[in-house]
Chains A and B, each alone.
Chain A
Amino acid sequence: MTMINSLRLGAAALAAALVLSAPVKAAEGTVQPPRQSWTFAGPFGSFDSTQLQRGFKVYREVCSACHSIQLLAFRNLAEKGGPEFSEAQVKALAAEYKVKDGPNDSGDMFERPGRPADRFPPPFANKQAAQAANGGAYPPDFSVIAKARTYERGFPWFVIDIFTQFQEQGVDYITALLTGYEQPPAGFQVPEGKYYNEYFPGHVISMPQPISDGQVEYPKDADGRPQAPETAVQYAKDVSAFLMWAAEPHLEARKELGFKTLVFLLLFAGLLYFTKKRIWSRVEGHAHA
């Protein structure tokens, strides 16, 4: 038996063992979020800048009342591979915010209008203030939240994900969470001041349903219709996409460079393969291994 055959046998035995032992325990009471289709998924994925602009609008008009996004700077909104607002739009937007600066020459802190280089000021001065205003719960910062949330894929999906490049667990989860507010099942006790959410681990969440149909006005197209449906589901998708970009602002550049790199390496490997074949053909008894 050659090593390759042994390898196959081993792999088969391993797969059998894993399949047999998989149902030992099903997912721990968490519901798998439905798969969404994202423009930024897959090897050639890229952000839809109009979707990110809408998502930013949702964040700004709804989420930002409680959730900071402290690692994001205004200037990022104009960068390539993002919402791609114009420089002028970003400048005007930043100026709408008050940013704390100082100390000045007389030693005082002061407030001034924001500049593109500033980062988004948080809604609360500190964690304690945020908790005091939200019934003791801390609304998490949104800078990398799309990468900080996931759910268990389980076997064999976690293996298949390597090949399909599925990396969108976080955004799928956020979309599901935002639209996952439901009546609790009979007998499920939701504590006072808490809410039932189908997708939140343990189902009891401190955040009330954050968004409902028609809450945010979307830009209109030439016929005066909104460019996307003004529904909670659409808001959830758009803000999730925006959060994915905020968490991974160089995603497009990464995938583009990845493709170039792999094409180069493939050609290089091909050349090396034939070089190797040529060199080893001098050696007797080696049918080029």
Chain B
Amino acid sequence: MSGHSTYVPKSAVGRWFESRLPVMGLLHSSFVVFPNPRNLNYFWTFGGILSFMLVAQIVTGVVLAMHYTPHADMAFNSVEHIMRDVNYGWLIRYLHANGASMFFIAVYIHIFRGFYYGSYKAPREILWILGVIIFLLMMATAFMGYVLPWGQMSYWGATVITNLFSAIPLVGETVVSYLWGGFSVANPTLNRFFSLHYLLPFMIAGVVVLHIWALHVPGSNNPSGVEKQTEKDTLPFHPYFTVKDGLALVVFIMFFSWFAFYIPNYLGHADNYIMADPSVTPAHIVPEWYFLPYYAILRAVPDKLLGVIAMFSSIAVLAFLPWLDTSRVKSATYRPLYRQFFWVFAIVCVLLGWLGAKPPEGGYVIAARILTAYYFAHFLIILPLLGLFETPRRLPGSIAEAVLGKQGSANAMASGAAAAPNTKG
């Protein structure tokens, strides 16, 4: 995707094909010879991990759909049919349910890596905004997927979240009745959520292609935040990054397996093993863990409409990040103040998540309000001002210099060059 392909097919058939559809050349230039910054650390392996998770979710999901019945009277039991009677159905379903959580763990690390190293800054604004769109699509997909087993938390979660749209002035009620396909969450809701839950992952896949395309124009950012300039700054994607990404992926799959095989219900809610019952409201309606910070923001605002606006704004604000951060230095490694604020922000997000799981009363609400205010202040006040007042540390002249030191980069090709202080990650 970076243009000039050096790919030469070895066989006559290959040459015949390549002159008609140069797809092998495209793959070759994108994933074999593509020059990556040589100093990428393991936080850069999550793009590959996320691609894997998307494919894994689609594959397990397609198999589940072969056995699942999207009907309000049968959905719950059809999931149990998968768990009990389908060969390895328990495995497929636990992989899919835990896979959603793994997907979000990976995407949060991926996003926070972007925050830390300033990956959203020029020339990667479009790449970043495409990422925000993927994130939104992921959230919609995960939300609708959680409704499909039609347990108590599915039903009541769907009721709470779809009701939010009724806060929209003028058209709110209409929007909600279209979401429901009626006048309450019921069978038509389940049907359309199933349909959309199957559709959205393919839309995600489409935006992922654009995301990778936009990535391959400037190439990856890197821990130094200095753009690649010469060949000395880079290494070919294969074998250096295929093996590094592969190792990280296998370790990540081990983490995934721990959950899927040993604690498969840890990340879910016990209430979702009770069939949906419109006449019994659970004591606490709590969304999945990956939505908890937004849920805390929603409930921190006393007004329904403003709460909904705050919740959606908390994600929409990310799209403006490239322009809200006024610093010209990308990497937090060279921004002593921003690095402190980054960690404060990360802790604020975790605490918001914790508050999202607590009942909205007393000290919890006050804490949620303070943290919500801080969340927005981070983007709207701290980041714009920080760029103006912060004195960054001196940047290395090049990636090679960041890795090898000044001396080393000068004799980069000479063998036995002294190892320089390792400033990576």
Give residues in A with beta carbon < 8 Å to B.
Answer: 1-4, 6, 9-10, 13-14, 17-18, 21, 24-25, 43, 71, 76, 140, 143-145, 147-150, 161-162, 165, 167, 169-170, 201, 247, 249-250, 253-255, 257-259, 261-262, 265-266, 268-269, 272-273, 275-276, 279-280, 283-287, 289
The answer on a CB contact under 8 Å between A286 and B243 is no
Q: Which 7 A-B pairs have the closest CB atoms?
A: A258-B261, A148-B273, A150-B270, A285-B404, A272-B247, A147-B273, A269-B250
B247 and A161 within 8 A (CB): no
B337 on interface, CB distance cutoff 8 Å: no
A255 to B261, CA, bound (A): 6
Residue in chain A with minimal CB distance to B40 = A289
Tell me, in angstroms, the Cα distance from A167 to B333 when the chains sit together. Answer: 41
A161 to B424, CA, bound (A): 34
Partner of A18, one of B94, B244, B354, B419: B354
Docked Cα-Cα span, A279 to B165, in Å, equals 53
CB distance A285 to B419 under 8 Å?
yes
- The 8 A CB mask of B208-252 against A (1 = contact, 0 = none) is 000000000000000000000000000100011001101100110
Chain A: minimal CB distance from B102 (Å):
13
A261 to B364, CA, bound (A): 42
Which of chain B's residues has its CB closest to A173's CB?
A: B270
Indicate which residue in A148, A275, A285 contacts B270 across the interface (CB closer than 8 Å): A148
Q: In the complex the two chains form, is B250's CB within 8 Å of A254's CB?
A: no
Binding site for A on B (CB under 8 A): 38, 41-43, 77, 80, 83-84, 90-91, 94, 116, 235, 239-240, 243-244, 246-247, 250-251, 253-254, 257-258, 260-266, 270-271, 273-274, 283, 333, 339, 343, 346-347, 350-351, 354, 358, 362-364, 367, 400, 403-404, 408, 412, 415, 417, 419-420, 422, 424-425
Report B325 CB to chain A, min CB distance, Å.
19
Q: How far is the CB of B300 from chain A (nearest CB, A)?
A: 15
Q: Which residues of A contact B400 (CB under 8 A)?
A: 285
Would A10 and B261 be within 8 Å (CB), given that A150-B270, A249-B84, A284-B404 are in contact? no
Other-chain residue from B261, B263, B412 in contact with A161 (beta carbon distance below 8 A): B263
Shortest distance in angstroms between B215's beta carbon and chain A's nearest beta carbon? Answer: 22
In the complex, besides A148-B270, A169-B270, A254-B261, 7 extra interface pairs with C-beta distance below 8 angstroms are: A150-B270, A167-B266, A250-B90, A255-B262, A265-B254, A285-B420, A289-B425
**Per a CB cutoff under 8 Å, which of B239, B247, B274, B420 touches A273?**
B247
Q: How far is the CB of A266 from chain B (nearest CB, A)?
A: 7
Say whether B343 contacts A6, CB under 8 Å.
yes
Q: How far is the CB of A272 from chain B (nearest CB, A)?
A: 4
Q: Using Cβ atoms and an 8 Å threshold, which residues of chain B touch A162?
A: 258, 263, 266
Nearest B residue to A3 via CB reads B425
Q: What are 18 A-B pairs with beta-carbon distances under 8 A?
A: A3-B41, A6-B343, A17-B351, A25-B363, A148-B271, A162-B263, A262-B257, A265-B250, A269-B247, A269-B251, A272-B247, A272-B250, A275-B243, A276-B244, A279-B240, A279-B243, A280-B240, A283-B38
For residue B364, which residues in chain A have a CB less than 8 angstroms away from its CB? 24-25
Are A25 and B404 touching (Cβ within 8 A)? Answer: no
A261 and B43 alpha carbons, distance in the complex (Å): 25
A102 to B77, CA, bound (A): 22
Which chain A residues lie closer than 8 Å to B333 at the CB level?
Answer: 3
Give every chain A residue within 8 A of B91 (Cβ-Cβ): 254, 257
Smallest CB separation, A2 vs chain B (Å): 7
User: CB-nearest residue of chain A relative to B339?
Assistant: A6
Other-chain contact of A165, B253, B263, B351 (Cβ < 8 Å): B263
How far apart are the CA atoms of A221 and B247 in the complex, in Å?
Answer: 54
CA distance A144 to B408 in the complex (A): 64
Q: Distance (Å) between the CB of B259 and the closest chain A CB? A: 8
